[in-house]
Amino acid sequence: MVASSFDVGRLEEFPRVTFAHTPTPIEEMKNLSRRVGGARLFVKRDDCTGLAFGGNKVRQLEYYFGEALARSADTVLITGAVQSNFVRVAAAAARKSGLECHVQLEERVSDVDPIYRSSGNVLLDRLLGATISSYPEGEDEAGADRRLSEIADELAARGRSPYVIPLGPGHASLGALGYVRAAREIVEQIAAQQLEIDEVVVASGSGQTHAGLLFGLRALGSQVRVTGVCVRRSADEQTLRIRRHCDSIASLLDVATPVADADILLLDGFLAPAYGVPGPSAIDALERAARDEGLLLDPVYTAKAMAGCLDRARVESGGRLLFVHTGGQPALFAYEGLLTGFSD
């Protein structure tokens, strides 16, 4: 992974609040590597970013809260799935910043166990004192954003100063800047550890982590393959989303995009049966990571991404792959009923 100059454009001009414990480590997964044959597997531990169990959303929220505080907001609003990691970390970031937080939980997963609605991230949202509302449609991003804006208007009418963190496309990809910055961190670590990486594998959901990493690596001159593992929508749909995020990043930074269409690589073979429901390959990857590496994944994002990473390692025998662990472990406790079948 060779880097040249890093054309970040206006990156340092954006207000940012430092929440994340960085740099997060890069570790070799020797036991999993032996399981897949000739490939060498590494993990970027962005589950260790610190704030409220960490995860990739901590880096993203540094920019949203930077803007919120610059606007003198006193309340932050965010929408996401019932077991949303983004919502949980936003609630913690709000408390750390002295702000109130209103979270809207969307019904994206059907036929859930009652514990899904009370444990995991939901328990933490309540512990953090967030005001919680619900939105009935799980696949209506525009509607969820619209309802959040209505709540913000209601708060403003009562004299509050709200700041909305949007969900759907059509908004500036501000959170992706956290992973443009993370790309530089990864390249510096790889150089310091004298590693060579052929491919980066990451869960691709909202797309801001995937797009930010890809944009940052290409801006650094690195042509390493970046593979996104779809966790919410098909590869065709997600490709358009990543393209829009990359173009939005370029617009924010006032630079030409370094990302070509051919750079956007996605796997959707591990998405089934649905968002928030892990299939057999994801459950197997979750167990293998725990039993082989003591590495805890989550059922929604990183288990599916790890399944994709292990598949890529088998295809690219002899390759060197870096798995980006985006966190989400609190959701394990909300999926207890699904995960009770592990053998002793």
Written as six digits, the tokens of 129 are: 């004192």
Is residue 298 domain-resident?
yes
Enclosing domain of residue 80: 60-165
Strand partners, 122: none
201 plus 304 within the same structural domain: yes
93 plus 189 within the same structural domain: no
Is residue 296 domain-resident?
yes
Of 152, 143, 205, nearest to 331 (Cα)? Answer: 205
24 plus 72 within the same structural domain: no
Is residue 2 domain-resident?
no
Q: Give the model confidence (pLDDT) of 145-195 as tens digits.
A: 999 999 999 999 999 999 999 988 889 999 999 999 999 999 999 999 999
Is residue 1 domain-resident?
no
Is residue 313 domain-resident?
yes
pLDDT above 60 for 53: yes
Q: How far apart are CA 326 and CA 142, in angstroms?
A: 25
Is residue 22 domain-resident?
yes
pLDDT above 60 for 41: yes
Cβ-based neighbour number of residue 154 at 10 Å: 12
Which CATH number is 68's domain given?
A: 3.40.50.1100
How many residues make up the chain in this entry? 344
Q: How far apart are CA 134 and CA 128, in angstroms?
A: 17
203 plus 294 within the same structural domain: yes
19 plus 124 within the same structural domain: no
Mean pLDDT value of segment 319-323: 97
pLDDT above 70 for 7: no
pLDDT band of residue 98 (cuts 50, 70, 90) is very high
Is residue 314 domain-resident?
yes
Flag the least confident range among 5-9, 49-53, 108-112, 199-203: 5-9
pLDDT above 80 for 5: no
Coil, strand, or helix at residue 132?
strand
Q: How far apart are CA 303 and CA 279, in angstroms?
A: 9
pLDDT of residue 4: 47
Q: Give the model confidence (pLDDT) of 119-151 as tens digits.
A: 999 999 999 999 999 999 888 889 999 999 999
The residue from 129, 146, 165 where one domain ends is 165
Of 128, 116, 114, nearest to 81 (Cα)? Answer: 116
The residue from 139, 165, 191 where one domain ends is 165
281 plus 239 within the same structural domain: yes
49 plus 86 within the same structural domain: no
Percent of the chain with pLDDT over 90: 88
| Sheet with strand 131-135: strands edge to edge | 131-135, 100-106, 75-81, 162-165
231 plus 322 within the same structural domain: yes
310 plus 200 within the same structural domain: yes
Judge contact between 182 and 59, C-beta under 8 A: yes
By CB atoms closer than 10 A (0-12, 13-18, 19+), residue 234 is exposed
Q: Give the model confidence (pLDDT) of 11-33 as tens digits.
A: 999 999 999 999 999 999 999 99
Mean pLDDT value of segment 235-246: 98
300 plus 250 within the same structural domain: yes
The region that residue 207 occupies, defined by phi over 0 for left and psi between -120 and 50 for alpha, beta otherwise, is: left
pLDDT of residue 168: 80
pLDDT above 70 for 344: no
pLDDT band of residue 113 (cuts 50, 70, 90) is confident
Is residue 209 domain-resident?
yes
Per the structure, the count of domains in the chain is 2
> Is 84 in the active site?
yes
pLDDT above 90 for 337: no
DSSP state of 82: T
208 plus 77 within the same structural domain: no
pLDDT band of residue 241 (cuts 50, 70, 90) is very high
pLDDT band of residue 341 (cuts 50, 70, 90) is low
pLDDT of residue 248: 97
Top pLDDT among 189 and 7 is at 189
Judge contact between 57 and 176, C-beta under 8 A: no
The residue from 165, 190, 206 where one domain ends is 165
Mean pLDDT value of segment 195-202: 97
179 plus 300 within the same structural domain: yes
Catalytic residue among 4, 33, 72, 84: 84
pLDDT above 50 for 282: yes
Mean pLDDT, the chain, whole residue set: 95
